[in-house]
């Protein structure tokens, strides 16, 4: 019996490997949505392959820019820039706006910009609709690119901000002008003012960001993040 099971397992493995090779080699045609090697469609509903495809886009700037070009993001591609200080810019874009306006345009790695489009459409705006019945019109950020170490220390490793691979979000302004700020509203309690909604919205935004960014740090993490959400596409994986 055990022997039979081993054979069956081997057969299944061979079939899976054959199918994978067939898809990769183009012998088996599957819809782009189910093809792990197809370019990510940033407008499509995220699924179990989205994270894998997004990590490929991060390594393929040209493919990434093509994918960004299919979205509503307004951006321009920037030339690579070397740096003697480990602050090189590779495959970066300058983002002017998306469906939301930003407090200022910013430089971002294409992977960060791609993650943003997924986050905005599938986490940020749905959260605003759920909690307030309207959309976010404007996002206030504290910047993306800064040639510095983590926490601005004089030694230690470079921050993801040093390569424009991180963005710090401070506040969200709804279509009706209501402002929800991380600093003032994270700990807001419910009551007649309804500020509890803002706190619940911010937690939803933080949790939603964790679906698309590699690292998400907010006020729950430490004092340094009491006034913003740090989102980055670096090598680590954290959601706090
Ligand atoms: Zn940051």
Does residue 3 surpass a pLDDT of 60? Answer: yes
The per-residue pLDDT for 137 is 98
Instruction: Say how many Å lie between the CA of residue 16 and the centre of ligand 1.
Output: 41
> By percentage, how much of the chain surpasses pLDDT 70?
97
Instruction: Say how many Å lie between the CA of residue 114 and the centre of ligand 1.
Output: 17
The per-residue pLDDT for 190 is 66
Instruction: Say how many Å lie between the CA of residue 166 and the centre of ligand 1.
Output: 6
- Residue-wise pLDDT for 222-238, tens only, equals 999 999 999 999 999 99
The per-residue pLDDT for 14 is 81
Instruction: Say how many Å lie between the CA of residue 168 and the centre of ligand 1.
Output: 5
Instruction: Say how many Å lie between the CA of residue 143 and the centre of ligand 1.
Output: 8
Rounded to 5 degrees, what angle do the CA atoms 57, 61, 64 make? 50
Does the domain at residues 73-239 carry the CATH identifier 3.30.1380?
Answer: yes
Look up the pTM and report it. Answer: 0.87
Instruction: Say how many Å lie between the CA of residue 170 and the centre of ligand 1.
Output: 10
The per-residue pLDDT for 193 is 57
Instruction: Say how many Å lie between the CA of residue 33 and the centre of ligand 1.
Output: 32
Residue 208: pLDDT band (50, 70, 90) is very high
Instruction: Say how many Å lie between the CA of residue 185 and the centre of ligand 1.
Output: 19
Instruction: Say how many Å lie between the CA of residue 108 and the centre of ligand 1.
Output: 13
Q: Reduced to 3 states, what is the DSSP secondary structure of residue 2? A: helix
Instruction: Say how many Å lie between the CA of residue 4 and the centre of ligand 1.
Output: 55
CA distances 190 to 73, 181, 199, 208, 227, Å, are 35, 16, 9, 22, 20
Domain ranges of the chain: 1-30, 73-239
Instruction: Say how many Å lie between the CA of residue 161 and the centre of ligand 1.
Output: 6
Strand locations in 32-120 (E): 74-77, 92-97, 101-109
Instruction: Say how many Å lie between the CA of residue 149 and the centre of ligand 1.
Output: 11
Q: Evaluate whether 78 touches 90 at the Cβ level (below 8 Å).
A: no
Residues at Cβ < 5 Å from ligand 1 ion: 166, 168, 230
Instruction: Say how many Å lie between the CA of residue 22 and the centre of ligand 1.
Output: 42
The encoded tokens of residue 75 equal 């951006």
Instruction: Say how many Å lie between the CA of residue 85 and the centre of ligand 1.
Output: 19
Does residue 117 surpass a pLDDT of 90? Answer: yes
The encoded tokens of residue 128 equal 């605003």
């Amino acid at each position: 019996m055990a022997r039979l099971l081993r054979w069956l397992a081997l057969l299944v493995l061979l079939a899976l490997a054959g199918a994978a090779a067939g898809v990769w080699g183009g012998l088996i045609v599957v819809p782009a949505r189910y093809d792990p090697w197809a370019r990510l469609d940033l407008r499509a509903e995220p699924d179990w392959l989205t994270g894998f495809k997004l990590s490929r886009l991060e390594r393929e700037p040209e493919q990434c820019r093509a994918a960004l070009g299919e979205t509503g993001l307004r951006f321009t591609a920037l030339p690579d820039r070397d740096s003697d200080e480990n602050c090189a810019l590779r495959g970066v874009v300058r983002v002017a706006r998306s469906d939301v306006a930003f407090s200022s345009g910013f430089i971002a790695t294409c992977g960060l910009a791609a993650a943003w489009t997924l986050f905005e459409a599938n986490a940020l705006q749905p959260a605003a609709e759920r909690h307030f019945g309207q959309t976010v019109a404007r996002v206030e950020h504290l910047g993306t690119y800064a040639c510095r170490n983590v926490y601005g220390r004089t030694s230690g490793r470079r921050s993801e901000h040093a390569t424009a691979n991180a963005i710090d979000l401070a506040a969200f302004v709804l279509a009706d002008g209501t402002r929800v700020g991380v600093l003032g509203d994270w700990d807001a309690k419910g009551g007649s003012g309804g500020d509890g909604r803002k706190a619940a919205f911010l937690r939803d935004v933080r949790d939603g960001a964790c679906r698309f960014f590699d690292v998400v740090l907010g006020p729950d993490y430490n004092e340094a993040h009491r006034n913003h959400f740090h989102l980055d596409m670096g090598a680590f994986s954290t959601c706090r």
